[in-house]
A and B are shown apart, each in its own frame.
Chain A
Amino acid sequence: MLSVTDLGYVIDDKCLLEGVSFELEAGEFLAILGANGAGKTTLMNCLCGLITPSKGSVSLNQRPLSKMSRAEIAQQMALVPQQQETAFAFTALEMVVMGRTPFLSTFESPSEQDNADAKQVMQLLDIGGLAKRDYNHLSGGERQLILLARALFQSDRLLLLDEPTNHLDYRNRFQILSLVKRSCIESNTAVIAILHDPNLAQLYADKVLLLEHGKVLNYGERSTVMTSKNISRLYGLATASYRIAEQEFFMPQNVLGLSLSKVLIITGESGSGKTTALVDFIALCQQKHIPLKGMLCPGVMKDGQRYSSDIVDIATNERCLFGLRTGVLDKETGTRFSFTEEGMALGKQALDHNHFHQDEICIVDEIGPMELSGEGFGRHIAPLLTVANSRHIWVVRPSLVERVCRHWSLHNPEIIDIEDTALAEKLMQFVRVNAA
């Protein structure tokens, strides 16, 4: 039905989409999830041909959109836009009838038959009574239903829904998506919906696509994509899963007052030997056969300040150059370092939540301002916290300790100063006691 290959969109040297590919068959419901600014709406606009992608292609029934006229696309693909007031007071029926537009020639207008058909669609959605009402005077839920009716009247082959549950109350949220799902089942409609609530995706979607910074983080069948680790990773928020009536749902851990893992923070000024202490500790653990995961950033000091830094994957002992001091404050990273791609990749490998399991121990050296603003490894940390009985040792400079605790909603983490003479003992106790 719809196939998207290697889609990319670049504007003003900013890459908003890169390498997005997926397939959709008739009757399937695809949910697109992503944090704000992840490129969901850009993707939607590329899909319905509102903007021309800079790379890749979108094909509808084996025909590329770029070779189809606007009306031809609209005859098969209907959009339910985010609702907004119209400048003029159209009636609800007039709004719904406009779904016929792509089938009309330039000088044609909808016939009586079209009006009757539109009314019938409205009746199917139980909104027949709204036909004569002024669209601008309807409630958010009613407007959304009108837009849905228009889209279904336009085409029941492929529906695009742009955040359909915005402004809707609890009941309407389920109602609108149930109607969409019904169309999937009864009319074999393919659906792509941008959703903000992972639980709604969990309830209605067949496939899920997770989008981050314009790239696909994960895509596939709902059951494989929708895990609490993936959700935590996507939003950078430690999320727990729970079951109601055989169905898995998601909720942020801190809201539930849950903490599945323990965190120990080592703090101390730059150059106070935090990394060195950890190197010694890791060696000690290796002697005692205590497995560790995570990353370490040993730095090279010059004139009393960090000059460059390597990155080490503790589990595999791989090592490469990570950061170099440039002396210029980079506005994007908020640091005076430039980072190598190789180093970033190694760090992401070391913190990969897919390889982090129950009872394991993860070291992160160190959590800085970049991570706090969701850049760097910021989003990789939350999914690690969802692992049951896992322990985490983080290196944080003193000025950031409080912000780090707030950002990851840590409940009473153990905080140890680097000057603490019993540091090594306390670390050993932390990894051992919990293991018991």
Chain B
Amino acid sequence: MSVMVTRRLLPIQCIGVITATLFIGLCAGRFAVDPSDIFSAIQKLPSVLTSLILTGLVPDDLSQEDRVILLIRFPRLLTALIVGAGLTVSGAVYQGVFRNPLVSPDILGVASGCMFGAAMGLVLPGSSWLMVQILAFVCGLFAACAAMFMAKRFGSNSLLLMIMTGIIVGSIFGSGLTMLKALADPYGELPAIVFWLMGSLSVSSWSTVAQLAIPVVIGYGLIHALRYRLNVLCLGDQQSRSLGIEPTRLRLVLIVISSFIVASCVATVGQVAWIGLVVPHMVRTFTGADNMRLIPISTAVGALFLLLADSVARASFTMEIPIGVVTSLVGAPLFAFLLFRFRQGGTD
């Protein structure tokens, strides 16, 4: 891939590719749908959404195809896009903030916190699905705050220290999760926890989309606006300060926003491994380190990646493969390939 060509890769092109993939994704699946049905279904989308928002009810005049496309596949694909985008952008931000291309979004224990929270929700009697998600979200944010607070109390702003407190918090929540699994009822709750941990988009609905879109879109907007400052932050504290930026404050803001995004994503669909680490890393190889390009493009690529992964997960076999399995199975070899290429031909 020529560097000169790909460096001009525009977000608008990414959006084109995503739309095309979205179209294919709407066709694909166990329930066969004709491409022409998609156009007719999409024409009904505004009325369906209005009716859902105003009355909370689905219009009666929908055909079976329309229902599959508009009420099942479309929100699910959108969820995949948003989660993919959210995990990737926060991965890119974490990597910049920690000045380490091998950092993933769960470095501060956010994911462990979310998983613990979700398991707790599933074990506690009478929790609704929403309760599970809220608990996951709150625990995820709590984990990140605990890691940052601990690093601050240890008296240093060192990034290394923050990574270590992240590991401490992560392992505490990890053991809490194991404890909950051990306590869970092995016939009802334990499978629920295990399936939740695998990550799945199968329960996505329009309300999932709404509940995800708000934090992810707002968070992305802020990150997009601050992405140039992230470049400066990548140079380290001394240089940031001498270039007129207070690194501790900016770092805190960026970490809080991205932890918020990660917590919302993981709380909604469970753990989706690798994407936040691999995608920014991969995109960086052809956009360069400049976050002005890296942030929007990797967000688009991340969205596309999860969209494809989810399509593979639901359409390739008779049973649905957990999405986390697909992203790991694709992400890990891809990562290995990138490392291999890096060793072979220098960094570009």
Contacts and interface: CB of A to CB of B under 8 A. Distances in A.
Interface of A: 48-50, 69-75, 77-79, 81, 84, 86-91, 94, 98-99, 101-102, 104, 106-110, 134, 136-137, 154, 160
A308 B114 CA distance: 70
B244 A73 contact: yes
Contacts of A91: 288, 290
B228 A104 contact: yes
Nearest to B235: A86
A101 B101 contact: no
Contacts of A89: 284, 288-289, 347-348
A196 to B, nearest CB: 19
Contacts of B151: none
- What are the 7 A-B residue pairs with the smallest beta carbon separation, nearest first? A102-B244, A74-B244, A88-B289, A109-B228, A79-B242, A71-B244, A87-B99
18 contacts: A50-B238, A72-B244, A74-B243, A77-B242, A88-B284, A89-B348, A90-B289, A90-B290, A91-B290, A94-B288, A94-B289, A98-B243, A99-B243, A101-B229, A106-B226, A107-B225, A109-B228, A134-B348
A98 B232 contact: yes
Contacts of B227: 109
Interface in B195-238: 225-229, 231-232, 234-236, 238
B239 interface: yes
Contacts of B242: 48, 50, 74, 77-79, 81, 160
Given A98-B231, A98-B232, A102-B244, A81 B292 contact: no
Given A88-B234, A91-B288, A98-B235, A107 B226 contact: yes
Given A88-B234, A88-B284, A134-B347, A75 B101 contact: no
A89 B346 CA distance: 11
Interface in B317-348: 346-348
A70 B290 contact: no
A343 B227 CA distance: 61
Nearest to B98: A87
B246 interface: yes
A104 to B, nearest CB: 7
Given A87-B101, A89-B289, A134-B347, A101 B245 contact: yes
A79 to B, nearest CB: 4
Contacts of B292: 109
Contacts of B289: 86, 88-90, 94
A221 B243 CA distance: 31
Given A90-B289, A101-B244, 15 more contacts: A50-B241, A71-B244, A74-B241, A87-B100, A87-B101, A88-B96, A88-B101, A89-B348, A91-B288, A94-B231, A98-B232, A98-B235, A101-B245, A134-B347, A137-B346
User: Which one of B238, B242, B245 has the highest number of Cβ atoms from chain A below 10 Å of its Cβ?
Assistant: B242
Contact of A70 (B99, B231, B236, B241): B241
Contacts of A74: 241-244
B62 to A, nearest CB: 43
Contact of A79 (B231, B239, B346): B239
B279 to A, nearest CB: 15
B221 to A, nearest CB: 10
A102 B243 contact: yes
A101 B243 contact: yes
A106 B230 CA distance: 11
A89 B291 CA distance: 11
Nearest to A77: B242
Contacts of B245: 70-71, 101
B229 A94 contact: no
Nearest to A80: B242
Contacts of A86: 234-235, 289
Contacts of B347: 89, 134, 136-137
Interface string B85-102: 000000000001001110
A98 B289 CA distance: 13
Nearest to A103: B244
A94 B246 contact: no
